[in-house]
Chain A
Amino acid sequence: AQKITQTQPGMFVQEKEAVTLDCTYDTSDQSYGLFWYKQPSSGEMIFLIYQGSYDEQNATEGRYSLNFQKARKSANLVISASQLGDSAMYFCAMREDVGYNQGGKLIFGQGTELSVKP
């Protein structure tokens, strides 16, 4: 069964510094996708970055990069140059059978609350 684990309930980072949020996953599927979403206090889930299991390079989206280590089944999110607006909950998620019309469901980890200090 697929599973997502985020072991850091909360993290602090100084403004302008980089921070890494950890995520490990478990799946027996060969084709899957890994996602990171941000959820500010307003409640909306905001998509940040996506990594496919067959992608050879780590995904990057502006200040966000995904450190994908397939053999270790980890998909850590790196935020460079943290900003005060980055303070939020961050969720790692996984979906199996990507590349198919329906595919598997998207399952989420427990989340990490990031606080950026000025």
Chain B
Amino acid sequence: EAGVAQSPRYKIIEKRQSVAFWCNPISGHATLYWYQQILGQGPKLLIQFQNNGVVDDSQLPKDRFSAERLKGVDSTLKIQPAKLEDSAVYLCASRVPGGLREANVLTFGAGSRLTVL
């Protein structure tokens, strides 16, 4: 099966500019996640979707970050305006719904590396 697709892979912007990242999860994966991974740290959850509804966005900086998953399939994460500390890799992940064992595993995309100058 095809993996989780993300684009762009790399983006360099000036501070205060805006940027958008796109994610297309594995077909049939109703649950989608966006993680932020700052260099040298483990990934941190930004937002979790179940179909097109938000399950958890408690760590999303809502004054500058927004995310949507309008049709319950692909998703967009936007940052506006960007700050220097937003430089990180943005990872998208998805998993099948349900409580079965295999539903617990998240499959990650290759990530989008953002550099804010």
Contacts and interface: CB of A to CB of B under 8 A. Distances in A.
Interface residues of A, number: 28
Given A45-B91, A98-B99, A103 B42 contact: no
Interface in A68-107: 91, 93, 95, 98-103, 105-107
A45 B104 contact: no
B42 A111 contact: yes
Interface in B67-92: 89, 91
Contacts of B110: 42-44
A45 B43 contact: yes
Given A45-B93, A52-B101, A108-B42, A102 B107 contact: no
Contact of B105 (A4, A50, A102, A109): A50
B113 interface: yes
Interface in A37-56: 37, 42-47, 50, 52
B31 A106 contact: no
Interface string B5-43: 000000000000000000000000001010000000111
A13 to B, nearest CB: 21
A70 to B, nearest CB: 17
Q: What interface size band does chain B fall in?
A: 20 to 34
Given A45-B93, A100-B99, A33 B48 contact: no
14 contacts: A42-B110, A43-B113, A45-B43, A46-B108, A50-B105, A95-B104, A101-B97, A103-B104, A105-B45, A106-B45, A108-B42, A109-B42, A110-B41, A110-B42
The 3 A-B residue pairs whose C-beta atoms are closest, nearest first, are: A108-B42, A45-B108, A99-B99
Interface of B: 31, 33, 41-45, 48, 50, 55-56, 89, 91, 93, 97-99, 101, 104-111, 113
Interface of A: 4, 33, 35, 37, 42-47, 50, 52, 91, 93, 95, 98-103, 105-111
